[in-house]
């Protein structure tokens, strides 16, 4: 079982616990893949360091997400 990684607030204002699925670097940028426990859905966040602290920025579902998803799927095969 994976460990809790972060808690985020969804669009409905509810707190959601996400677990780390994988980490990767793509085109010089760092990413984490996160998922809710017992879910097949995953979310990708770009890792940005600011003043020595990590900030996680959602990359949504656009082209950047498609590139991260493709790299993740290739890594799994």
Torsion angle in degrees (nearest 10) through CA of 30, 36, 37, 42: -60
As a whole number of angstroms, the distance between CA 66 and CA 69 comes to 5
Write down the domain spans for the chain. 4-76
Tokens 């793509």 correspond to what residue? 26
Neighbours of 72 (CB within 10 A): 17
- Summarised one tens digit per residue, pLDDT across range 43-77 is 899 999 999 999 999 898 899 999 999 999 999 88
Residue 28, pLDDT score: 95
Work out the percent of the chain whose per-residue pLDDT is above 70.
95
Residue 1, pLDDT score: 41
Record the pTM. Answer: 0.82
Per-residue confidence band for 10, with pLDDT thresholds at 50, 70 and 90: confident
């Amino acid at each position: 079982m994976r460990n809790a990684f972060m808690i985020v607030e969804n669009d409905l204002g509810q707190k959601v616990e996400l677990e780390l699925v994988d980490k990767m670097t793509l085109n010089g940028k760092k990413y984490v893949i996160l998922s809710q426990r017992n879910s097949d859905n995953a979310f990708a966040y770009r890792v940005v360091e600011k003043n020595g602290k990590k900030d996680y920025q959602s990359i949504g579902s656009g082209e950047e997400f498609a590139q991260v998803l493709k790299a993740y799927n290739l890594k799994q095969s």
